[in-house]
Chain A
Amino acid sequence: MVEFSLWDIARNLLLSVRWTVALSLVAFIGGGVVGLLLLYARLGGGRVAGKLVGGYVQVFQGTPLLIQLFLAFFGIAALGVNVSPWIAASVCLTLYSSAYLAEIWRGCVDAVPKGQWEAAKSLGLSFAQQLRLIVLPQAARIAIAPTVGFMVQVIKGTALASIIGFVEITKTGGMIANATFQPFLVYSFVAAFYFALCFPLSWWSKRLELKMSASGR
């Protein structure tokens, strides 16, 4: 029987924080890229593309992330390809984030006054130019706070990857709890680590929001 000291528990969890952070970054950056493409398709791709993107967003926002993870994990495995939990979780969380980010950013683009589009058009700019030069810079200012807020949701979402066997904080916590028979202590630690990751982002997001609403007036 190996004895776990408090420091052993904290150290092992601390090491697993890397994987939570890595998965969060992959999901957030990948989701950002895909989300931007979806946004572009929704704004400039005509009615069919708009409907398709809308359906995509609805599916990801209307089903549990856990089911999406199971589908990514078992679905790709059903094709006969062995996927590691790491690949399945990255793919799934990327798609999940892209749906949410596309929706958040669409709201921000909608908040830019219509006159801006019209003015850009009257200058003879193409759609891509209107979006890139005129609308997105203004939308981006509004988008920062909710986007940072969404990062918190992504970090919390990665905890579910533990269920398909990805070893991050929650999974490590479960294993340590089983080994030490101290679930109360271990899960308190796990929660504390998530809090340490998420709270600064939440706080930053709230501050940005306050600053925006103050400058907007």
Chain B
Amino acid sequence: MLALPERRRPKRRRHPRAAGIQKIGHRIMKIELDFLAVLAQWPLLAKGVVWTLALTVLSAVLGGVVGVACAWMRAYGAKPLAWIAATYVELIRNTPFIVQLFFIFFGLPAAGVKLTPEIASIIAMVVNLGAYAAEIVRAGLDATPRGQFDAAKALGLGRMQMFRLVVLPPALAKVWPAMVSQIIIVMLGSAVCGQISTEELSYAANLIQSRNFRAFESFIIAGAIYLLLAIAVRKLLDWVGPRFLFGASAKAGAR
């Protein structure tokens, strides 16, 4: 008698994973996102943004110089110089940034060069951007019409003058969009520098989530800030380039 009611109830056949899926469903409903807990730590985030921008500006300027120098070496330098530049470019472009960073920060001290995390980050970013910039600038140099050289020669300009005044500005103007994209890629890549405790934005996000266990929220916010930075930096560089880097001469030359 007692066992009967249980027997009558038909056993519901359920998919073996149904229970698990249901549990997940409940959990999704139960999750409360608390973005304010992350935003309350805004001084940390602000410091992170400042570091990220500082790293980006420094590496963009220095990396740009390295890039132009290597592009010159490859395009007009003597054979050994061109070969050195090509090797550098290929080595960097075919290895991950994180390995370059770890090599500089963990590897070089073993060879006797001790660096702070910040210096190691900047060196890694400059070396990285320099290689990509070299390739980008070279594409611009290759597109220089022959007549430009002849005209510069006819004006009696020296080799360096010719490069600096006649060849480089229009070449930069031509490849500026690619250069801006690369600078932004390097800025986003700088998130890795947090791994060697450079206190940039992703480091701040990690620090915040280790304090309040709001991992999801803090990375969402960090991601949103990076996105805004990427958009803002692109706007800024699109504005800066034509005004300060390659002026009227470039406009004339690009035509």
Q: Chain A at the B interface: mostly helix, strand, loop or mixed?
A: helix
Within 8 A of B (CB), among A130-180: 152, 155-157, 159-160, 162-163, 170, 173-174, 177
CB distance from A38 to the nearest CB of B (A): 19
- Is the CB of B175 closer than 8 A to any CB of chain A? no
Check B106 against A64 for contact (C-beta < 8 Å): no
- Is the CB of B103 closer than 8 A to any CB of chain A? yes
Check A198 against B95 for contact (C-beta < 8 Å): yes
Instruction: Write out the residue numbers on chain B whose beta carbons fall within 8 Å of the beta carbon of A202.
Output: 90, 93-94
Inter-chain CA distance A155–B99, complex, in Å, is: 12
Instruction: Write out the residue numbers on chain A whose beta carbons fall within 8 Å of the beta carbon of B99.
Output: 159, 170, 173, 187, 190-191, 194
- Is the CB of A214 closer than 8 A to any CB of chain B? no
Q: Which of A59, A182, A190 has the most CB of B within 10 A?
A: A190
Contact A170-B96, Cβ < 8 Å, known A62-B230, A199-B90:
yes
Inter-chain CA distance A93–B214, complex, in Å, is: 23
Check A162 against B98 for contact (C-beta < 8 Å): yes
Of A68, A75, A160, A195, which one neighbours B216 at CB under 8 angstroms? Answer: A75
- Is the CB of B166 closer than 8 A to any CB of chain A? no
Q: Which of B31, B96, B97, B220 has the most CB of A within 10 A?
A: B96
Check A64 against B98 for contact (C-beta < 8 Å): no
Check A74 against B219 for contact (C-beta < 8 Å): yes
Check A195 against B94 for contact (C-beta < 8 Å): yes
Within 8 A of A (CB), among B1-39: 23-24, 27-28, 31
Count of chain A residues with Cβ under 8 Å from any Cβ of B?
Answer: 46
Count of chain B residues with Cβ under 8 Å from any Cβ of A?
Answer: 45
A-B contact count (CB 8 A): 136
Name the residue of chain A whose CB is nearest to the CB of B102.
A187
- Is the CB of B41 closer than 8 A to any CB of chain A? no
Considering the complex of A and B, which 3 residue pairs feature the smallest CB-CB distances, nearest first? A64-B191, A159-B96, A74-B215
What are 16 A-B pairs with beta-carbon distances under 8 A? A59-B227, A61-B230, A62-B231, A63-B230, A64-B223, A65-B188, A68-B223, A70-B206, A80-B27, A156-B95, A156-B97, A159-B98, A160-B192, A163-B98, A183-B109, A190-B103
Chain B residues with CB under 8 Å of chain A are: 23-24, 27-28, 31, 90-91, 93-100, 102-103, 106-111, 184, 188-192, 194-195, 202, 205-206, 209, 215-216, 219-220, 222-223, 226-227, 230-231
Given contacts A191-B91, A191-B103, 17 further A-B contacts (CB under 8 A): A61-B230, A64-B188, A67-B202, A68-B223, A75-B219, A79-B27, A152-B94, A156-B97, A159-B96, A159-B97, A163-B195, A170-B98, A173-B99, A187-B102, A188-B107, A190-B102, A195-B94
